[in-house]
Structure 1
Amino acid sequence: DTALITMSAGSEKLNMYAIQNAVNENFGLNRNKKMVKKQLQQVPKDANRTIKKLSQSDADLLKAVDSKVPTDYLYELKEKKGGYVTANEKKVIFRLQDQMGLTPPLINMIVYACFEYDTVLTANLADRIANDWLQQGITTPAEAIAYLKERKNTRKRQYYRAPKKTVRKTTDWSKYEKQNQTKRKTMSTEERNRIFREFGKNE
């Protein structure tokens, strides 16, 4: 079955490299899909409290991700950014929906979150975000929005936290000079003459 997927019209030879890639891609796919399905079936932790935390812009975002097909939402975000949708970006959405079994609204939120970090939708970044959310028990767009806001606020607090200043004790050279000037003795004329007389005798 895997070999058939890799064959193209008019080709009489098997592409072992393509078959190997297909096997690697499909290995454990059903198991991953079951794990994701199990996570998605969990009851949200505190949906009402989460929704109360959302602002009007959050509510608009929630409405957008709930009402659009992932590919349409991807095109919409790219148009706003002035870019274009690549074939690899569409593959990412196909993989999240058909192979991982994520819901369209959650996929839309992942797409939105990816564009907060990068200009393109990549499989690695999408997988990292999806894994993080599922491990945190986040299965709905409302929870994802609240989680993104919380993480952004945490990063701001860490960024703006003033580092502790270490005060080093140093010498105040202006005071040092004044103090030592008072300690110095002024040499008299007689003492200077005596030194010069002694110096001449030693030669």
Structure 2
Amino acid sequence: MQDAFFKLNPRDGFVVTDANYLSDFDRQVLTYLYQPLMGTAAYSLYLLLWTQRTLVQTAQPHSTLLALLNIDLPTLYESRIHLEALGLIKTYQQVTAAGRTFTYELYAPQTPNAFFTDDLLSLLLYEAVGETRFEQLKAQFRLHPVKVSADLEEVSLSFLDVFHVNSQLLSQPPATIAEAKSEFKTPGTTTQPQLDERATADFDWPFFKQQLHASFVSVRQLDHYHDQLLTLHALYGLNELELAQYVNESVDITTNKLDLPALKRLVARQPTKVAPTTATTTTTETNVAATKDLSQNDQQLITISRQLAPITFLTQLKQQQGGYVTDSEQRVLERLMSRHVFADASIINILSHYVISVRKMPTLTQAYVDGVANGWLQHNVTTPEAAMQEVKSFYRQKQAPKRTSRNKQPLRKETLPDWAKDGYQAPKQKVTAEQRAAVQKRLAALQANKDGE
């Protein structure tokens, strides 16, 4: 993942701060619920940053993290963006004359109640650990409040039954208390991933539910799987009628409930199709300006990317190279679509083309795709034209000549002797009669000495 070297440098400084209180129970939630999603490297990075927040807030180089975790820079960057995507940290950048410094703001993981009721997080965990382990985790974190019954009476005392507070101070609290109340007020913001409403732009949800009105699936179930169904629509290019048909075929007849894993397997087995062009593919003035810098082949690729759903596009791309789409690649695209980070699904097709055809990688991997997508988001890529420009800009930076230092001494040019050059021939010299006679005289003397021995 060479993109990481453009986003992060071992000499860049970092400081750590916390936005929430972190407890030992948060560590358990992080270990059992989040670690299967983020991987061991990101898990270790979060725990290390957790310890760093207690130190003096002076910037340290990222080389410290690399040494403590014993990982390379791309792995560190991939781990960071995984934590960002899961809402566990927020990253802020400051550039000064002294260099670049990142501030990592730590957030506590979601409570188990919030985690299991969130469609995106629970779906990712289900796919990561499987149904059996998922049920075990649900049982592990399920609360068991007391069920009130006729023979069960609560005898707990209230706060004022036990503690006595000065009524005058209660009506007019001191200024110090008011300041503390203001400083410790918790902002009402959420850190978990949210569904982007742009995914519903080309899908008529009420019409879709109407097609299932006479089926065994309840409206409540459909609303519960709202995000996952929209992800399948965008990923495979299914319209309302097609998706309704697949839902009908995936209902468990014994329970009359939708079997989501069976639905995914059914959709994945169907032949790929061309997705209808949506309103998001209309060319704006910005797109026209961006297209001027693109070649005819680039524009043709963008046109095709707008016509095909991501799975269809990747399937044809792999078939051209004699390969096939793996199950893990389908999950990679599904996870990317479920986050709804790109309003235009054709951007995902450009990303797939970049990884498979340009970078010559045999398969799409979760870490690499997340790294590229995160980088494009940071550069405000919202159209396939902008995605193509981002790819070209990256390669222009790589091919740019490196600047040499002014203090660098010029290299001394070594010259080869004539005898070491290709095609060298020794010069011919004329031998005089005197030189020939001298040589013969010395040879005769040598021969006489040899005979006398």
Taking structure 2 as the reference length, the TM-score comes to 0.29
CA distance in 1, matches of 2:410, 2:289: 43
CA distance in 2, matches of 1:59, 1:111: 16
Q: 1:190 aligns to what?
A: none
Q: 1:138 aligns to what?
A: 381
From 288, 296, 300, give the equivalent of 1:48. Answer: 288
CA distance in 1, matches of 2:140, 2:376: 32
Q: 2:364 aligns to what?
A: 121
1:46 CA drift (Å) = 4.1
Q: Aligned pair in 2 of structure 1 residues 45, 88: CA closer, same or farther (>3 Å)?
A: farther
1:92-171 aligned at under 5 Å gives the runs 92-102=332-342, 103-115=344-356, 116-117=358-359, 118-158=361-401, 166-168=410-412
1:76-87 aligned at under 5 Å gives the runs 76-87=316-327
1:108 CA drift (Å) = 0.8
Q: 2:230 aligns to what?
A: none
Q: 2:137 aligns to what?
A: 16
**CA deviation vs aligned residue, 1:131-182 (integer Å, no higher than 9, x gap):** 11111111100111122122223322338x8997733499xxxxxxxxxxxx
Residue identity matched to 1:152: Y
Residue identity matched to 1:153: R
1:83 CA drift (Å) = 1.1
CA distance in 1, matches of 2:411, 2:310: 55
Q: 1:28 aligns to what?
A: 192
Q: Aligned pair in 2 of structure 1 residues 19, 140: CA closer, same or farther (>3 Å)?
A: farther
1:64 CA drift (Å) = 0.9
Taking structure 1 as the reference length, the TM-score comes to 0.61
**CA deviation vs aligned residue, 1:33-76 (integer Å, no higher than 9, x gap):** 45x99xx9xxx994332110111101110111111000000101
User: Matched residues, percent identical?
Assistant: 26
More deviation in 76-85 or 143-152?
Answer: 143-152
SS of the residue aligned with 1:138? coil
Q: Aligned pair in 2 of structure 1 residues 16, 128: CA closer, same or farther (>3 Å)?
A: same
Instruction: Determine which structure has the larger strand proportion and give its number.
Output: 2
Residue identity matched to 2:135: L
SS of the residue aligned with 1:29? coil
**1:66 maps to 2:306:** yes
Q: Aligned pair in 2 of structure 1 residues 165, 155: CA closer, same or farther (>3 Å)?
A: farther
Q: Aligned pair in 2 of structure 1 residues 101, 138: CA closer, same or farther (>3 Å)?
A: closer
1:16 CA drift (Å) = 2.5
CA distance in 2, matches of 1:19, 1:29: 23
Do 1:29 and 1:100's aligned partners in 2 also have CA atoms closer than 8 Å? Answer: no
Q: 1:197 aligns to what?
A: none
SS of the residue aligned with 1:83? coil
Q: Aligned pair in 2 of structure 1 residues 134, 14: CA closer, same or farther (>3 Å)?
A: closer
CA distance in 2, matches of 1:145, 1:59: 9
SS of the residue aligned with 2:320? helix
Residue identity matched to 1:69: A
Residue identity matched to 2:136: N
SS of the residue aligned with 2:400? helix
Number of residues paired by the alignment?
A: 157
- Please list every run of 5 or more consecutive structure 2 residues that lacks an aligned counterpart in the other structure: 1-112, 142-190, 200-279, 415-453
Instruction: Determine which structure has the larger helix proportion and give its number.
Output: 1
- Please list every run of 5 or more consecutive structure 1 residues that lacks an aligned counterpart in the other structure: 21-26, 171-203
